Amino acid sequence: MAPFQFPDQTQFYKGKVRDVYSFDDLLVMIASDRISAFDVILPRPIPYKGQVLNQIAAYMLDATKDICPNWLLGVPAPNVSMGKRCEPFRVEMVVRGNLTGHAWRTYSSGLRTLCGVALPEGMKENDYFPTPIITPSTKAEEGHDEDISREEIIARGIVPEADYAQLEKYALTLFARGKEIAASRGLILVDTKYEFGKIGDTLYLMDEIHTPDSSRYFYADGFEERQQKGERQLQLSKEFVREWLIANGFMGKEGQSVPNMDDQWVETISNRYIELYEKVIGQPFKKENWTDDQVYQAVVKAVEAQKK
């Protein structure tokens, strides 16, 4: 899909999976059906993925707005969110409740620190940490995000110390709320990432939260039994896409080619996203098929309404 050209649009940015339009102090994010892994955009879009991400994010932002201010003002179309334009902090606050994914790959290589955080000895894959940990990463304009420690963030002036302390507090409180919501749906929120920005002196939660692109979920039923037996956990997240890529010799490294995605695999990914929506939200997913013109008109109308 070619970028839109909206009246009074001041800036356009094409991210890995979102198209972002600026209107002075407003931001419009269109969640595309593009899918990325290992910071590479995969060759085929996933039907309804944008709608799933957008609507889960809107639900979760509404469910956490008592914890900290967030950017969202409205959802003018199924895959579109509009909100306040913040000055972003150039870090992602990654919160981990379990030793999984990147943390497990680091741990199993023999390392016992991640982003300056000491990791306990004797842990198995997917075990709970004694308490959730924050393992921040730099927010890269292009290419790979990189692990970074709290100390380095502050020393390099990426985030002022007072602001960073508040971001840590917000991130852990948001994660606790996310785990509560997940538990009520029979899920475990395993890990997630948050992005924050600032308007004046106020910190805002930005972007999406607790979606399958930003988070990992396990099914709670049978979790302990599977851990004791050393079995793989049943999960709802994008990790199964990463695992498929790894199994097919792709980790985003130079010289590697993305494996072929056939129609059946694309449909499988789409169904997994819809399954997560229904599990997390607790309601049936309604497939919306808006035309580009419908999306365009809805955004124009919403932006005009905010100016009044």
295 in any annotated domain: yes
In the prediction, which pLDDT does 2 show?
Answer: 66
In the prediction, which pLDDT does 87 show?
Answer: 94
Instruction: Count Cβ neighbours within 10 Å for each residue of 23-33 and write b for 16 or more, e otherwise.
Output: beebbbbbbbb
Q: CA-CA distance, 227 to 125, in Å (whole number)?
A: 8
How far is CA 189 from each of CA 144, 158, 216, 235, rounded to the nearest angstrom?
24, 28, 6, 10
In the prediction, which pLDDT does 73 show?
Answer: 97
Least confident of 87-91, 217-221, 253-257: 253-257
In the prediction, which pLDDT does 144 show?
Answer: 60
- pLDDT tier at 143, thresholds 50, 70, 90: low
159-216: pLDDT as tens digits: 999 999 999 999 999 999 999 999 999 999 999 999 999 999 999 999 999 998 889 9
4 in any annotated domain: no
Q: Same structural domain for residues 15 and 117?
A: no
Domain that holds residue 229: 88-237
User: Is the pLDDT higher at 27 or at 140?
Assistant: 27
- pLDDT tier at 140, thresholds 50, 70, 90: low
- pLDDT tier at 233, thresholds 50, 70, 90: very high
The angle at the Cα of 292, spanning 289 to 298, to the nearest 5 degrees, equals 90
CATH number at residue 176: 3.30.470.20
How far is CA 226 from each of CA 108, 149, 221, 231, rounded to the nearest angstrom?
19, 32, 10, 5
Q: CA-CA distance, 66 to 9, in Å (whole number)?
A: 31
What is the model's pTM?
Answer: 0.91
Region of 44 on the Ramachandran plot (φ > 0 left; ψ -120 to 50 alpha; else beta): beta
In the prediction, which pLDDT does 237 show?
Answer: 77
250 in any annotated domain: no
131 in any annotated domain: yes
- pLDDT tier at 39, thresholds 50, 70, 90: confident
- pLDDT tier at 3, thresholds 50, 70, 90: confident
60-100: pLDDT as tens digits: 999 999 999 999 999 999 999 999 999 999 999 999 999 99
Q: Same structural domain for residues 70 and 188?
A: no
In the prediction, which pLDDT does 142 show?
Answer: 56
CATH number at residue 67: 3.30.200.20
In the prediction, which pLDDT does 180 show?
Answer: 97
| Total domains present in the chain | 2
